[in-house]
A and B are shown apart, each in its own frame.
Chain A
């Protein structure tokens, strides 16, 4: 079973949208709090509005799960949020 990690912006874009004309994407959280979609949603993609989904890197489910201390998790979350903030700021600048 393979999954691909997506970011918050990608989640917003595809959540509830059809990927094969019948079935909706259902992004969900893995045990580390990463937002993921599954290989079926990627491999069965026919919706041309979301072609970037086909280019996502698939990895084995749970293969990247981490064992971190509370402090390390906080740093991890902070880094993720900063990364998302940076991407959103860049997007704002281009508009």
Chain B
């Protein structure tokens, strides 16, 4: 596997962020001229894919005031799935940990544009339990999707009849909870997050909405992507195409806006808008 480095006084100095290197090493995509998704709108060389993710990682670190050059995205992000590489094995790779953290089930179609859930039984277990990861800290979800008309983009229910629900959908399913279900976006980026105990903030393609909703507790089940986790069983399957999903600890409005800008830049570079 190619790993571009230069040496300064005998010490290797990576030209890429450590998260970028770990991510592509797990994907099995070298930083070279190999062409991926040939003769499609998503055709890129390995080097172009490395450059696109590197730009995105650096923008994320700038947005989150993290020091470049060290592995530190995990201080704020629980997972980040860029859905790059066009195969199931590559789409389960988490950029934060550089591991195959996600678990796919049911019907999916994978290509250079992302991962398309079939709306009947396809979902991905993100491997992230917000309660375990963030405890009483506020957190939020940011993502990019396409061609989405039904189901839940992501979600998890923490308890039977409890208030610890996290959901995002376009259906406005009437469920109460710490995040609550609300109108989503059919194409583009959306963010759902908290900065305090009494409000949910929801951004649809950059337009901020604030909804009064008291915080109860973080859900204590893994968040599913493409469905919601109903105490261990998937439900309300999405038919959306997933192109990026992340979960973030204690985001500010400015951070969310800057992360969204970085996501749009990434999708533009990959021709996946």
Report A-chain residues with C-beta under 8 Å of the C-beta of B103. Answer: 24
* Residues in chain A near residue B106, CB distance under 8 A: 23-26, 28, 38, 40-41
Extra pairs beyond A23-B106, A61-B120 (20, CB < 8 Å): A1-B119, A1-B120, A3-B120, A21-B89, A22-B87, A23-B88, A23-B108, A24-B103, A24-B104, A28-B106, A28-B121, A36-B120, A38-B120, A38-B121, A39-B107, A39-B118, A40-B107, A40-B108, A40-B109, A41-B106
Q: List 21 A-B contacts (CB under 8 A).
A: A1-B119, A21-B89, A22-B89, A23-B105, A23-B106, A23-B108, A24-B103, A24-B104, A24-B106, A25-B106, A26-B105, A27-B121, A28-B106, A28-B121, A37-B121, A38-B118, A38-B120, A38-B122, A40-B107, A40-B122, A41-B107
- Please, how many angstroms separate the alpha-carbon atoms of A85 and B107 in the complex? 29
When A and B form their complex, which 6 residue pairs have the shortest distance between CB atoms, in order from nearest?
A40-B107, A26-B106, A38-B107, A22-B88, A23-B104, A26-B105
Q: Distance (Å) between the CB of A7 and the closest chain B CB? A: 17
A contacts, CB < 8 Å to B: 1, 3, 20-28, 36-41, 61
Query: Which listed residue, A20, A22, A25, A40, touches B118 by the CB 8 Å rule?
Result: A40
Instruction: Give chain A nearest CB distance to B207 CB in angstroms.
Output: 32
Give the most central of A3, A38, A40, A41: most B CB within 10 Å: A40
Within 8 A of A (CB), among B102-126: 103-109, 118-123
B residues in contact (CB < 8 Å) with A: 87-89, 92, 103-109, 118-123, 234
B92 touches A22 (CB 8 A): yes
Please indicate the chain B residues that have their CB under 8 angstroms from the CB of A21 in the complex: 88-89
B104's closest neighbor in chain A, by CB? Answer: A23
Most chain B beta carbons < 10 A, residue from A1, A20, A28? A28
Q: What residues on A are CB-neighbors of B108 within 8 Å?
A: 23, 40
Q: Which residue of A lies closest to B239 (CB)?
A: A1
With most chain A CB atoms within 10 A of its CB, the pick from B104, B109, B123 is B104
Chain A residues in 8 Å Cβ range of B109:
40
Alpha-carbon distance between A36 and B122 when the two chains are bound, in angstroms:
13
Pairwise interchain contact A22-B121, C-beta atoms closer than 8 A: no
Q: How far apart are B65's CB and chain A's nearest CB, in angstroms?
A: 36
Docked Cα-Cα span, A3 to B120, in Å, equals: 9
What's the least CB distance linking A14 to chain B, in Å?
12
